[in-house]
Amino acid sequence: MPQLSPARSRLALLALALGGFGIGTTEFVAMGLLPDIARDLMPALWEADQEAAIARAGIVITAYAVGVVVGAPTIAAAAARFPRKALLVWLTVAFALGSVASALAPSFETVVLFRFLAALPHGAFFGVAALVAASLLGPGKRGQAVAYVLAGLTIANVIGVPSITWLGQQTSWRVGYLAVAGVFVLCALAIVAAVPAMPGDPEATMRRELGAFRRPAVWFALLTGALGFGGLFAVYTYVSPLATEIAGAPERFVPIALIVLGIGTAIGNIIGGRLADRGALRAIFILFGALAASLLALALLASTLPGLLAGLFLVGLAASAISPAIQTRLMDVAGDAQTMAAAVNHSALNMGNSLGAFLGGAVIGAGWGYLAPTWVGLALVVPGVLCALAGWAVTRRDQVATTSDARENGDVELDMSVTASPASRP
């Protein structure tokens, strides 16, 4: 890659962040528009039982999450050799087409299908964009590179999601998705103009990339991320009824609640990137403690508007900070399969998205009320911490084994380099 001026590098990072902005908007805008989707596509159920209609509409969010889970490892494994700039452009075009198809879908079932298809490029885009950003920033800044790309996603929660939620409420949820498609068109043009040409990995093969899944530490990191984000999305999916039914706010207050949560995610992303560069596994333990405290605060304070806003801000901050830490951890333990590691994090996070949305809808559908998903999120923290501990134990065992083998072979210098390398540090 040719040497870029600082200004050109910033423009390239901005183009990548714009992709994250579009993805964050298309993924999260359904949270605020669930009542509108349910009212439009399931009128009979809406008239009979609005709570049940909203719970069923949550399947739209689950479908997107499942699409990410399926698409991230598949596309990352198949496309690791492709030139990265061209791959990013085509993935962005696919997002635009998926958003248009979602807006024009004639029934609830077809919306669910198109949301699944629209999500397939999600993880691959973030994975490839993170590798490009890391190349632009230089060594030792992988966590910050991930945070730069994810910054667009978190800013989407502050600007894109609330504004398009408002647009959808004033016009139609379909207009909201058409606006999202427009964002992706702008992103594709920005990538073409600003991101430098960058080759793929010529040594990459599908077998090598998929080989990352033979490592137990990779699986424990994925489960940790899924459970952590499950806690966030158990809350985030049902922000609209949480604000209107628990805090007693009017529907027009929902975008404000989303903005406050989005500000928390934007700040948390920056914090998480910096913590990850100082030690990803340590950052994960710190941030899970913060997430548990914030979910508890939300559960106890959500009945008042100030308490609701404070709780949403803290939940967004803690949960979003986990994402760069998990992605850096995956890149630490995935060996040569860096494209897969950078992409599959988003499979894990969207497994959490799907899990949180499903469990939140289940407890609401069971009649436990709109506050129940917050307690579900808190419960998911415990197995998340246990998975992080298991990942630490596996990494520690492998480091001890590597040290023992090196000493037996009389190669002490090799042992020291292995245990100190960024790829093996927790």
- The per-residue pLDDT string of the chain (426 residues; one tens digit each, 9 = 90 and over) reads 556 677 888 898 899 999 999 998 998 888 778 888 989 999 888 888 887 888 788 888 888 878 888 888 888 778 778 888 999 999 999 999 999 999 999 999 999 999 999 999 998 898 888 888 888 877 667 777 778 888 888 888 778 888 898 898 889 999 999 999 999 999 999 999 999 888 877 776 677 777 778 888 888 988 888 888 888 888 877 888 888 888 888 878 887 888 888 889 889 988 988 888 888 888 999 999 999 999 999 999 988 999 999 999 999 999 889 888 888 888 788 777 777 777 787 777 777 877 887 888 888 888 888 888 899 988 888 898 898 899 888 888 866 666 665 556 655 443 433 333 344 433
**Exposed e or buried b per residue across 395-424, where buried means at least 16 C-beta atoms within 10 angstroms of its C-beta:** beebbeeebeebeeeeeeeebeebeeeeeb
**C-alpha–C-alpha distance, residues 304 and 190, integer Å:** 43
Burial of 298 (0-12, 13-18, 19+ CB in 10 A): buried
**C-alpha–C-alpha distance, residues 174 and 178, integer Å:** 6
Both tokens of residue 160?
Answer: 């894109």
Query: Which pLDDT score is estimated for 335?
Result: 73
pTM: 0.74
Query: Which pLDDT score is estimated for 288?
Result: 92
Beta-carbon contacts of 417 under 8 Å, excluding residues fewer than 6 positions away, are: none
**C-alpha–C-alpha distance, residues 348 and 123, integer Å:** 10
pLDDT in tens, 47-83: 888 878 887 888 888 888 788 888 888 887 787 788 8
**C-alpha–C-alpha distance, residues 74 and 172, integer Å:** 34
Ordered by where they begin, the domains of the chain are 6-420 (1.20.1250.20)
Residue listed under structure tokens 């093969």: 205
**C-alpha–C-alpha distance, residues 291 and 314, integer Å:** 8
Phi-psi region of 140 (alpha: psi -120 to 50; beta: other; left: phi over 0): left
